Structure 1
Amino acid sequence: MRPVIGKPRGLEKGYADWPILVFIAIGFTILVLLTPGGRHAPELLLRDPDNVMRLVQVRDFLAGQSWWDVSQHRMAAGIPNNMHWSRLADLPLAALILFFSLFADTARAEVLAVIVEPPLLLIPTLYFLGRAAANLAGDEAAKVARLLALTATLFLSQFAPGRIDHHNIQLVLLALCLSALTDRPSWRAGAIAGTAIGLSLNIGLEMAPLLAIACAGMAARWLIEGAPMARIFNGLIAGLMVSSVFFYVLSVPPGEYARATADQLGRGHFVAIGSVGTVLLFASDKTSTNRRTRLLWLIMAAIAGVSAPLLAPELVRSPYSNIPPRLYDLWIENIRETASIVDVAQSQPSHLPRYFMFILIAFAVGLWLAKDLDRRGPVLLLLGVLAGGLVLTMWQLRAGAAASCVAIVIASAAIAHVWQGTNGRRSRAVAGTLVLVMNGWSGLALQALLERLEVRSENRTGQEIAGMPSGAIEGEEERPISRCEAAVRAAPLDSVPPGLVLSSLDAGAPILLRSRHETLSLGFHRNVQGVATTVDALLAPPDAARKILTARGVAYLFYCPSLEFGGFPRSTDASLGAMLAVGNAPEWLQPIAIAPTGDYAFYAVR
């Protein structure tokens, strides 16, 4: 018997077993803290400048910086430094620090909060993913969803202790949106999904393409199914319009309401949401069963959406449009998380299964599931979102976590549907085989096999794979501790009076976290002048570099082994960065502290 998609069975039990979810989160935390990467979280070695900067921002907020002020005042002194980050994403970490401060000192409270916050967010995410899967194929699907989630490394890495950037919060909201949109159609379910989308957009725009596809999918369902989908579609639009405005007003200073920005929610996005939403809100309130009429309404909404960039051109402007081409080539092209499928295929082809195998298999079985279930609408909706996630992951690997989130729901529903088949043992054997094949670990296993074959091939030919150096592209789950981050922790930075520091871009955020200094060298796309000064100085000969540093008021230079010191394509042996990399500092750099191992050198600029 085919399961009917509708009200989830076992809402108060089964996948809603909160103690089990808590136990899973605790076990996951312990396991991660025992791994080579995870054991550094208690030392606040957080592996990613975004994680470090999030803690710096929260620390400043708790120290009295205004709710409305998300600027980093020690970044690139004298240069506009709004971080474009939402204060809303600071709340979970700030709340945990305040809670742990009740029975621990501030330093220990920060460590506890950094360790606890990501796994804590995993609990509601697993719940919502289980609910979405149960909506498709019953309670058994929810149990499978938990299992698959714990093997989906791209997804799970976002909840590892220390991963305190905002991406895991957005995954919680994506899972909530999926659970609501696959639920029995109602205005309440639509409003919940719309509210989740509105909050996610205010936190960051990374999920915007997938959320837009979800909304388009609901519009398609309303077009095809008519009146039964009118209330949930109406609730979705209303929830999105109200929540996006509410959270915007809550987190944005009144003087910036009309901001024209491409990298955060602004006036242009509200032009699009308002124009499209108004048309659809009015249309979905009608209960007409005339499909042609509904199609006309959707065409009108599409015209309104396409016209929005005419009034707000920032909607089609790249967030990196303010970065000069030379900086883009030297800097953005070398950022790990912006690597594409082409980069992986050229440099480390054996890594392709890790990023794409689970997603592709889930998409394939989703096509079968949509054909076999009595009601195809929710499955087709998820397939559309997953297809968008797959394309985004091919463009930038960092989208793989969101795509995996959708794949977990589809794959678990397919496995549960096979398990519930009428062929008894045979159905269960097939379902068990799918579990073994369709999970994140199978991609890692295939990667390991391909790597062994590559090594054998290299040994026979005496050649290495062309492209990026080994390890240049890697997932968050295995990203090593930056040598610069560890160096900053070891260096006696506060042994001298506070001043402006120039360093590698990886070291900038840790310098803010562990010292009283200011820094130019932070790899955030709004810090263009600071990055340009860093690159120009380190690529220049020593005398020219000294003039650049003096003009910007740089008091100190911090060296650690990194791309900026002699590794840039345009770097020469006579450049300041290359000279420092071999320990040949010009006389105008006075040593303050130099590590015997060569891991760092701290100089005063004279």
Structure 2
Amino acid sequence: MIVRGNDRGLFAGDFLRSASAVVLVWLLYSGLRLALLPFLGWNPQSADDWTRLLEVRDWLGGQSWWDVSQHRMNPPQGFSMHWSRLVDLPLAAAIAVIGERWGMALVPLLWLLGGLFALRAIMLRLGLSGLAYGFGLFAFVLFPLVPGVFAPMAIDHHGPQAVMALATTAAMLSPLRRGALAAGLFAATWLAISLEGLPLVAVVAALYGLRYLGEERRLLPWFLLSLTSFALLLSLATRPNAELLGPWCDILLPGHITAFAMATLMAGIGPFLPFQHTPAGRLAALALVPLAALPTALVLLGPCAANPMAALDPVLMQWWHGYIGEGLPFWRQPVSTALMLVWLVVPLVGGYWLAGRGGGFADGAGGNWLLLFVLALAAWLYSLLVMREALIAQWLAIPFAAALLALLLPGARAIPSLVPRLAATLGVFVLATPLVVTAMAKPLDPLLPTPTMARGAAAPVVAGSCDFARLAGLKPGLLLTPMDDAPEILARTQHSVIAASYHRNQRPMVDTITAFSGSADDLRRIAADYGANYVAVCLSASDFALYRTAPGDNAATMLASDSQPAWLVPVAGLDGVLRVWRVAPDVTQQVRRAGTPAPRR
């Protein structure tokens, strides 16, 4: 065991290692979160959560399993979406049985339960002591990203993909063939939900190669066979053939699966080559895997082998993607967030070093500690480039934080003097998790603002929130509205919108941004081009405030100052924080006579 302290009693005994302890911790946490819902509200937390609700509603309402398009965005063409029905399945089932409100409340917590069981499997395979294991069960609340992603009403795909990453890791640590097969299944599901997991799945494959190189465990072919088979099955089961053969780069494609198959073939041949009894021979056999898979991927994927976001329109890069904090690297984050991302390496390295110091690993668990450390370190490096990957990195860091807490906290609590004891206790928590350093750095954020924080800084945000349900009283029509609030408007009303923030649909997104950040003439032209019935803005929305910082007499500032042109007719009762104007019926004809294109509809 890695902890040299007392391993007796409730908090260090067999109970904490049992499935019952996981369920008890989950019930206590879930009960608290659900009790807070009447005070926090029963609404989805973000635009993506609202859109996920729309996806499930549409499916339950009769939209095809194969069609995940949003048809009320830019009708009649609709918005193409890369989302997976796999995430819709549990949510749709829960909503069908217990209703929409409780379904959205419970499903994220059920994903959390899956994550905790995967974490339990990881900690058991590391041979943690009872004390360290106990810290590990509760430590997830000390990692800032985890509670929010698995909160009630947070129904986006980030939670499910993190659980698949944890399950892949737990299965990878198994020395058995069935563990490799399970890891391949979980990894394929992870990729079917989000292709962003591909770099870490590649690391998992490399770690299976490391096990073959050092221990001669022939598990890599079974992992790759399972990954290839289930990637093909899940793609065929959830994606229409036209999409698999289409222009999109943000989903699993035949090129990916063919590259997986080539890697499987080479990994299967490797153990039968000569000199496999030596490390050099095994290394040469392993080299065949990337030598076959990478050229296959490059040839078959073509431009899709690069970053899908590399082809974004410059307008979107300037006014949209550059302000989405979760997709940006650490050096473009607020100070507190950047420190949260960077600091995670402290419990990773500290926990690994302390756990192994003086032969402290449990018998036979040293290899698993090394595998987990390499994967967690890779996830941490990935998170420095793409902030949202920090969720997986934080989950994988929990066993290291638990080891660090178990090894250092008893000594800190044993200090007889009060002040040194409190300082040492706080110091241990500072080392073990990023929560304390993030909280301590929070006051620095406004002193060192970043672009992601400064959305609308030159045009202060109006106080108050917008009740988009009030729009339901208007005759259903097409709204030209900033993109962040568009999904909630769709969920609360029968209206349609021109655009929301989904990268496949660049032209409507660019036009929406241009309509508000450009001139009044741009606003009129785009409203007419799409045949919009209404222009609606929430003055407290951060994206609308951002458009007010555009140079010149931009349309957003004009609308906020009640100096709208005559072709926009204010809607009575909707002239506060939420402002709505009807587009005059003859504006389309006026713009056509001026020589603009015919409406897209």
- TM interval, shorter chain, is 0.7 to 0.9
Mean Cα displacement is larger for which, 70-79 or 316-325?
316-325
Look up the match of 2:317.
328
Look up the match of 1:186.
176
Contact 1:133–1:413, Cα closer than 8 Å, also in 2: no
Deviations 1:216-245 (A, max 9, x none): 11111211221xx11x33331222122111
Contact 1:488–1:514, Cα closer than 8 Å, also in 2: no
Q: Matches of 2:453 and 2:307 in 1, distance apart?
A: 30
1:538 to 2:516 alignment: yes
Change (3 A) 1:233 1:465: closer
Look up the match of 1:497.
475
Look up the match of 1:289.
277
Contact 2:484–2:543, Cα closer than 8 Å, also in 1: no
Change (3 A) 1:155 1:451: closer
TM alignment of 1:445-524, pairs within 5 A: 445-451=436-442, 454=444, 464-468=447-451, 486-490=465-469, 492-524=470-502
1:349 to 2:350 alignment: no
Task: List gaps (5 residues or longer) in structure 2.
Answer: 4-12, 416-420, 585-601
Determine which of 214, 220, 225 is the counterpart of 1:233. Answer: 220
Q: TM-score of the superposition, structure 1-length normalised?
A: 0.83
Contact 1:130–1:143, Cα closer than 8 Å, also in 2: no
Q: Matches of 2:282 and 2:323 in 1, distance apart?
A: 47
Look up the match of 1:245.
232
Look up the match of 1:303.
291
Residue 383 of structure 1, CA deviation: 1.6
Residue 136 of structure 1, CA deviation: 0.7
Residue 569 of structure 1, CA deviation: 7.7
Contact 1:41–1:161, Cα closer than 8 Å, also in 2: no
Q: Matches of 2:209 and 2:41 in 1, distance apart?
A: 44
Structure 2 letter corresponding to 1:297: A
Identical positions, percent = 25
Look up the match of 1:603.
581
Determine which of 267, 273, 283 is the counterpart of 2:260. Answer: 273
Q: Which secondary structure state, in structure 2, belongs to the residue aligned with residue 118 of structure 1?
A: helix
1:24 to 2:25 alignment: yes
Q: Which secondary structure state, in structure 2, belongs to the residue aligned with residue 150 of structure 1?
A: helix
Residue 330 of structure 1, CA deviation: 1.3
Aligned CA-pair RMSD: 3.4
Look up the match of 2:150.
159
Residue 246 of structure 1, CA deviation: 1.6
Q: Which secondary structure state, in structure 1, belongs to the residue aligned with residue 571 of structure 2?
A: strand
Q: Which secondary structure state, in structure 2, belongs to the residue aligned with residue 172 of structure 1?
A: helix
Q: Matches of 1:23 and 1:160 in 2, distance apart?
A: 17
Residue 361 of structure 1, CA deviation: 2.0
Q: Matches of 1:559 and 1:357 in 2, distance apart?
A: 39
Contact 2:221–2:268, Cα closer than 8 Å, also in 1: yes
Structure 2 letter corresponding to 1:336: G
TM alignment of 1:381-400, pairs within 5 A: 381-400=371-390
Look up the match of 1:8.
none
Deviations 1:493-525 (A, max 9, x none): 222322211111111111111111111120111
Q: Which secondary structure state, in structure 2, belongs to the residue aligned with residue 505 of structure 1?
A: coil
Structure 1 letter corresponding to 2:567: W
Contact 2:224–2:263, Cα closer than 8 Å, also in 1: no
Deviations 1:249-304 (A, max 9, x none): 21122344434532111122112211112211333577942323322222111112
Determine which of 423, 431, 437 is the counterpart of 2:428. Answer: 437
Determine which of 248, 263, 276 is the counterpart of 1:261. Answer: 248
1:137 to 2:127 alignment: yes
Change (3 A) 1:362 1:395: same
Look up the match of 2:82.
84
Look up the match of 1:560.
538
Change (3 A) 1:408 1:2: closer
Residue 138 of structure 1, CA deviation: 3.7
Change (3 A) 1:277 1:14: farther
Contact 1:358–1:404, Cα closer than 8 Å, also in 2: yes
Determine which of 101, 115, 118 is the counterpart of 2:105. Answer: 115
Change (3 A) 1:112 1:514: same
Residue 2 of structure 1, CA deviation: 6.6
Deviations 1:366-417 (A, max 9, x none): 2454563355322221122112211122112211110001101233355557
Q: Matches of 1:85 and 1:440 in 2, distance apart?
A: 37
Q: Which secondary structure state, in structure 2, belongs to the residue aligned with residue 590 of structure 1?
A: strand
Mean Cα displacement is larger for which, 50-59 or 118-127?
118-127
Deviations 1:460-491 (A, max 9, x none): xxxx4353475879xxxxxxxx999952434x
Task: List gaps (5 residues or longer) in structure 1.
Answer: 4-11, 101-108, 459-463, 474-481
Q: Matches of 2:536 and 2:478 in 1, distance apart?
A: 11
Deviations 1:57-99 (A, max 9, x none): 0000001111111111111114352201111110010010011
Residue 564 of structure 1, CA deviation: 4.3
Residue 550 of structure 1, CA deviation: 0.6
Mean Cα displacement is larger for which, 399-408 or 24-33?
24-33
Contact 1:566–1:579, Cα closer than 8 Å, also in 2: no
Structure 1 letter corresponding to 2:55: Q
Q: Matches of 1:127 and 1:465 in 2, distance apart?
A: 40
TM alignment of 1:46-65, pairs within 5 A: 46-65=44-63
Change (3 A) 1:440 1:577: farther
